[in-house]
Structure 1
Amino acid sequence: MEVDVVTGLKQTSVKADGTRNAQQYSASENAYTGNPLPSPSSTFAISAMLVGLLVFLVAGTPPVWGAGVKWTSRALALVLLVLLLVWHFRRRYYRPQWQSHRRTRVWQLPGNQAYVLQRSAGQSRASAKLSEADAVRLRVFTRAIIYPAAYRQRITERYEPGQRTLVQRVTIDAQIPGRELRQILNPRDLLNGHVRTTSAPQQRTATASQEISAVSAESTRASEQVILFPILVPRKGEMVDNLRILASDGSALPTLSYRQYLQLVAEALRTLLDISYGRDISEGAQSEAIEAEIMALADAMQRAAPDGRYESNSGADAIRLLGAGDTNGEVANKGALTLAAQLITKLTSHYAVVAAVPCPPDGRFVISYERLMTPTLELAPLKEGVLAWFKARARLFFGSRPVDFSVSLDNAWTTQSYHLVVDAEDKVFVGVQEAPALIPYFTAHWNRLAKSAAEGDSQPIARAARLTTPPPYYRFQRRAGQRYAHFYTRFFPEPREDLKEGTQVPEVRFRFYEVPPGSVFRAVITASAAALLIWLIGFVASRKTDPGTDVPAFLLVFPAIAAAWLGFDGQPRRLLEGTLAARLSLVTTVLSSIAASGLYMINKAQLPHLAWDNFFGIQVLGIDSLAWSALTMVAIVNASCISYIYLARTWEFMHLSSRPSQFDSPKEFLVD
């Protein structure tokens, strides 16, 4: 085994026989160990230099040095200030942030751990004398990972936006099929893993009262049965934050630790291999099955690399080769062998969060979980247009955070009926709800089934699947000015890697707007007040330089104070922090009001600054001064634009809220 030349740590990888190969990583794949942040003394020294250059740039040199030295030294100070700022930013912020996103080192488990897990699973089965009911429970666990829609009847997924996170709450309505339920509740009716069936006349003479008596007799045993049900199957490397798993009564359910989960996987794999050969493979001469089992366990135990790659995926292939190379007829149940290969294929790249769920007499149970999710911030790239690029950055600079995010439909294909609900705050309403990739996704999967059915009797299984599989269906809740969005779908197809348009699970995007009046109305009031005051004082100042009072200077500052107080001094409200249009209007109001106040004081002091002549002789609402005319036009344009946006948003909300519905629904009246 080699020693890593960078860290001195031993690294191994999986061989085909379950052992490990030595592996060496390059320095670029090491975990982030530094660059450390600059020392406080160096940061203080650089800050002092920056402040000194800024003071020199503003104050300049003494007058006795001459104008040439004054402007030359200022230009040199400006260049040094920019270079020092760039260097300080890269050293203090850019490099540490970039280094923190480098790939982290992942140490794989030693090769002998697969042998330990295999031996532990065999000893556990031998000591506990695994019953047929336990074998069925392991099969339920396996099928719930591979075919989750066979057990999950309905999933309701609800999102609640927070300040920067989303609270995801998922409720699962599950049903254990009747055949498997009878095998779990009444293991004495089993023979070699199959249900003992009565003859047809006996089945026809069975009455409903006898069935009810049988169910009541099994209810006592059901209270003692526990199903190990996979709640989540995330990709390896994905962390689940603040996970809480709850039963239908709100009580917390226990979950398996990672060691217990691996033990469960090993027991399920051994059970499937025993079923496939019809006997315990550890007592026979199936050395190929033992080797394939070791490789499969090694694949299930391996850890994902930061880039999503995996060292090996040969365990599932080795299990498939057991059935393909069976020339002596040793494999009695190739279906169990296929199930084992599918299980390892899934658990090579994913892991399961397993909860212990009590099994009710009817096999139907409700389980829910909630967790915190942090959405990735999507900034519009430049290729989408300069306006979109600018608006995305402006929202960050001005603190405008609309409710606009997308949700992946990863849970939709794992159930027969799927509901997605997004709850927002009371001051917003649904503006946009779309899923552009949903129709191509459905079309690709339905065309695949149609093509398989059109091939005729050569593939009767595919044709039967096409005839029995219902077409997918989806629907959005109509927009009616409500604060929540609701998406529903059923018979959602599972993604397939061999299908061009059906590989990636589509996303649903929701965008919420403010309910009038909102922040836009406050911006309208302040912008209109600023435009009126600027025009009034500009009209007077253009005819009389000194009106004999300083009141106009104070009046012009009031819109700026009001804009700052109404727009930026508020309590944080989850994801919605005011629209970009309102923030831009408030900033324009503040700047124009302060500029008007300064212009008034300059005119009153009869300074020559900004005393421009109106070359064209055009008057703006009776104002002769060019400076006052330009400032008045800025204020009027600002008030007009934000008023138009307010009227348009109000009409949109009114239109959505007052559209008649084709269904009977409550009605809200606005009357005198």
Structure 2
Amino acid sequence: MAALFIFIIAGTPTGDASLRWTARALAGVLLVLLLVWHTRRRYYLPQTKSHRPTKVWRLPDYQVNILQRSAGHSNALTRLNEADSARARIFTSAIIFPASVRQRITERYEPGQRTLMQRVTIDAQLSPRVVRKILHPDEVSAAERRLTVPAQRSEPSVEFPPPHGAEHGVPTASAIPDSNGQSVILFPVLVPLKGEMVDNLRVLAADGSALPILSYRQYLQLVAQVLRTMLDIAYGRDISAETHGEAFKAEQLALRAVMRRAEIIDKDDDDSGSHELSIVADADVGPEVVNEAALTLAAQLVKKLTSHYAVVAAVPCPPDGRFVVSYERMMTPALELAPLSKGILNWMKARARLVFGSRPVDFAISLDSAWTTQSYHLVIDAQDGVFVGVQESTDLLEYLTAHWNRVKGIRKKRARNGQVQQAVARGESSTEATTPPPYYRFRRRAGQRYAHFYTRFFPEPIEELPRGNRVPEVRFRFYEVPPGSVFRAVITGCAAALLIWLIGFVASRKADPGTDVPAFLLVFPAVAAAWLGFDGQPRRLLEGTLAARISLVTTALCSIAASGLFMVYKANLLYFRWDNFFDMRILGIKSLAWSGLTLVAILNATSIGYIYLARSWEFMHLSSRPNTFGGPKEIVD
């Protein structure tokens, strides 16, 4: 390819002119074909092959049978104490009804060059009754041997007896103490989708100490224990394979769904475990189901854990039931380039940002965790030198409106039947009849480097609800604080325009000024533009705006072109002396070439200067808006 390129530039030393150009054309076609072949072989194919789906093997059925037997009932099993029963209750509530445990979530993101550091703090509150069973299991009276799972919204309550233990000495996940031997609770701090990798995860207690995380085997054992306990609740007795065949079949399918790894499967097969549990009560054979609500909760738990998995931490149990747990991890956001549907200008700008290495701080954060808590805070803590320019969510208002209209419809329907007053009298404050309206706020833009979004009573997505089945995103966009890289581009652009005009004014009247100093002067703006715009490896996500980078590139090209044009005029080469054919003067310059180059330089300087003034006014406007809430002030006299 290098030889063909040289041949296209140099051509043949002798021969007919038409033959030489024909040979160059054929060499050009061959060079293009070789470039396509090399690009496909060297870059395209390796990238496409690296994104092939990972081979995932299914777990054998005997693994499911072992897990089912380990949580089953036999003469060799012994029941766990009240503390283990309470831990199972906490785990179930935190998975199915997370807002009943999580009081507040603060989610913070810190951007890097290509990654995000996510730090999430969870404030949780447990029932005093549950805490007493964990800390003082021997003091629980016989009348309190059965626990009640708190219902959220319109879900029924379920009596929750102690779960079963493990078989053949398999350690149970619910019996894990912390490093100091204290009583602990098993809390799912993170419930990601199956197949999603969690990078550099650290789970921390309120004092900053690391918390132990259940292994995958312990997590499955915990799920099996909770599922078997719910089946015992549903039948009002300890089930057995001989008398509860349908229940055992449903349990086996449910465990298989929970243990299934991330893979592409049929949707009907994906829901088989939860579906079989939900229809156990309709079976004509076997004992009668006495508590269908337990089956409903079991089906919900299995449906959730079929597509997700839980990262469960052993958290020390506080005496008052209130604890704080946090986790942090590294995240790599997906890069979304503007499609052609948004316009050709946006499409070109998105690609130009990648070419010039000038991407702004622009994030879209999904509110997946907002509905899992009663109060939710989202903070984007950007770097120094930027300020919040845009904060919006296009689908948030439609999402909240759809859910609130649904609640109002249910409320009106129940009001006609007198069910609202009955719900309030029973203290069911979490049902649709008494659910308060959602609320959200953005931290006002005041030129600060961080963005803050707050919401409470955020509704859970419902698949059957139009415009309310998909959790919206919140987008934050940050701009440079003046002066920044735009100011450097203004300085170099103005310097280049002034030098080009001055030397062009002189050179158009006297081709040889008797010195080579103008050629060196014209190179300085190019060197300054390269040094100010691309001086070393970028250390932050925002290292220069697109306008500044384009202006600096234009400045460098204009300076180099002006230096070459000066040498052409000094050597008195007529090839580029267009002023011999056109009589045109611009700003006192007689030469057409110098006039055109001067106009480009002036246009570059004025354009970047206008952008700088506009961004500076935007920053001053946001920073100087009156703050009616008090607080500190920055005074500039």
Rounded to whole Å, the distance in 2 between the matches of 1:586 and 1:519 is 10
**For residue 118 of structure 1, what is the aligned residue in structure 2?**
68
How do residues 139-154 of structure 1 correspond to structure 2 at under 5 angstroms?
139-154=89-104
Rounded to whole Å, the distance in 2 between the matches of 1:369 and 1:488 is 20
Rounded to whole Å, the distance in 1 between the matches of 2:455 and 2:119 is 18
Root-mean-square deviation (Å): 2.2
- 1:665 matched to 2:623? The reply is no
Matched-pair contact (CA < 8 Å) for 2:281–2:288: no
Superposed displacement of residue 567, structure 1: 0.5
Worse-superposed segment, 309-318 or 520-529: 309-318
Superposed displacement of residue 158, structure 1: 0.4
Change (3 A) 1:502 1:124: farther
Residue-by-residue CA offset, 1:155-207 (whole Å, 9 max, x unaligned): 000000011100000000001123333343444224374479xxxxxxxxxxx
Worse-superposed segment, 585-594 or 174-183: 174-183
Change (3 A) 1:193 1:346: farther
**For residue 52 of structure 1, what is the aligned residue in structure 2?**
3
- 1:191 matched to 2:143? The reply is yes
Q: Give the alignment partner of residue 608 of structure 1, picking from 559, 574, 577.
A: 574
How do residues 320-469 of structure 1 correspond to structure 2 at under 5 angstroms?
320-325=278-283, 330-456=288-414, 464=423, 465-469=431-435
Look up the equivalent residue of 2:205 and give its one-letter code.
A
Matched-pair contact (CA < 8 Å) for 1:232–1:352: yes
Rounded to whole Å, the distance in 2 between the matches of 1:521 and 1:354 is 51
**For residue 534 of structure 1, what is the aligned residue in structure 2?**
500
Superposed displacement of residue 402, structure 1: 1.0
Change (3 A) 1:615 1:603: closer
Worse-superposed segment, 496-505 or 564-573: 564-573
Superposed displacement of residue 270, structure 1: 0.7
Residue-by-residue CA offset, 1:27-73 (whole Å, 9 max, x unaligned): xxxxxxxxxxxxxxxxxxxxxxx1111111111110x2132222111
Residue-by-residue CA offset, 1:300-338 (whole Å, 9 max, x unaligned): 111221589684321211111122347997323222221
Change (3 A) 1:283 1:621: closer
Residue-by-residue CA offset, 1:201-238 (whole Å, 9 max, x unaligned): xxxxxxxxxxxxxxxxxxxxx98421111011111111
Worse-superposed segment, 372-381 or 315-324: 315-324
Rounded to whole Å, the distance in 1 between the matches of 2:525 and 2:580 is 27
**For residue 587 of structure 1, what is the aligned residue in structure 2?**
553
Rounded to whole Å, the distance in 1 between the matches of 2:187 and 2:74 is 20
Look up the equivalent residue of 1:405 and give its one-letter code.
F
Superposed displacement of residue 500, structure 1: 1.2
Calculate the TM-score normalised by the size of structure 1.
0.85
What's the secondary structure of 1:526's corresponding residue? helix
Q: Which runs of 5+ in 2 are unaligned?
A: 149-179, 424-430
Rounded to whole Å, the distance in 1 between the matches of 2:147 and 2:20 is 99
Rounded to whole Å, the distance in 2 between the matches of 1:504 and 1:125 is 48
Change (3 A) 1:403 1:190: farther
**For residue 68 of structure 1, what is the aligned residue in structure 2?**
18
Superposed displacement of residue 101, structure 1: 1.6
Superposed displacement of residue 411, structure 1: 0.8
Q: Which runs of 5+ in 1 are unaligned?
A: 1-49, 197-221
Superposed displacement of residue 278, structure 1: 1.8
**For residue 177 of structure 2, what is the aligned residue in structure 1?**
none
Rounded to whole Å, the distance in 2 between the matches of 1:461 and 1:346 is 30
**For residue 166 of structure 1, what is the aligned residue in structure 2?**
116
Matched-pair contact (CA < 8 Å) for 2:245–2:286: no
Look up the equivalent residue of 1:101 and give its one-letter code.
H
Tell me the percent identity.
68
Superposed displacement of residue 366, structure 1: 0.4
Change (3 A) 1:522 1:614: farther
Matched-pair contact (CA < 8 Å) for 1:125–1:267: no
Matched-pair contact (CA < 8 Å) for 2:108–2:381: yes
Look up the equivalent residue of 2:115 and give its one-letter code.
T
Superposed displacement of residue 458, structure 1: 7.5
Rounded to whole Å, the distance in 2 between the matches of 1:104 and 1:501 is 34
What's the secondary structure of 1:474's corresponding residue? strand
Residue-by-residue CA offset, 1:431-457 (whole Å, 9 max, x unaligned): 111111100110111111111122246
Q: How many residues align?
A: 596
- 1:515 matched to 2:481? The reply is yes
Worse-superposed segment, 568-577 or 81-90: 568-577
Matched-pair contact (CA < 8 Å) for 2:243–2:286: no
Matched-pair contact (CA < 8 Å) for 2:390–2:475: yes
- 1:97 matched to 2:40? The reply is no
Matched-pair contact (CA < 8 Å) for 1:154–1:173: yes
Look up the equivalent residue of 2:371 and give its one-letter code.
W
Rounded to whole Å, the distance in 2 between the matches of 1:534 and 1:486 is 47
Rounded to whole Å, the distance in 2 between the matches of 1:540 and 1:239 is 66
Matched-pair contact (CA < 8 Å) for 1:534–1:596: yes
- 1:84 matched to 2:42? The reply is no
Calculate the TM-score normalised by the size of structure 2.
0.90
Superposed displacement of residue 629, structure 1: 0.6
Residue-by-residue CA offset, 1:473-504 (whole Å, 9 max, x unaligned): 00000111111111100011011111111111
Superposed displacement of residue 467, structure 1: 3.4
Superposed displacement of residue 621, structure 1: 0.6
How do residues 200-349 of structure 1 correspond to structure 2 at under 5 angstroms?
224-282=182-240, 285-305=243-263, 311-325=269-283, 330-349=288-307
**For residue 635 of structure 1, what is the aligned residue in structure 2?**
601
Superposed displacement of residue 459, structure 1: 7.0
Look up the equivalent residue of 1:51 and give its one-letter code.
A
Matched-pair contact (CA < 8 Å) for 2:109–2:379: yes
Matched-pair contact (CA < 8 Å) for 2:103–2:373: yes
Rounded to whole Å, the distance in 2 between the matches of 1:606 and 1:125 is 108
What's the secondary structure of 1:367's corresponding residue? strand
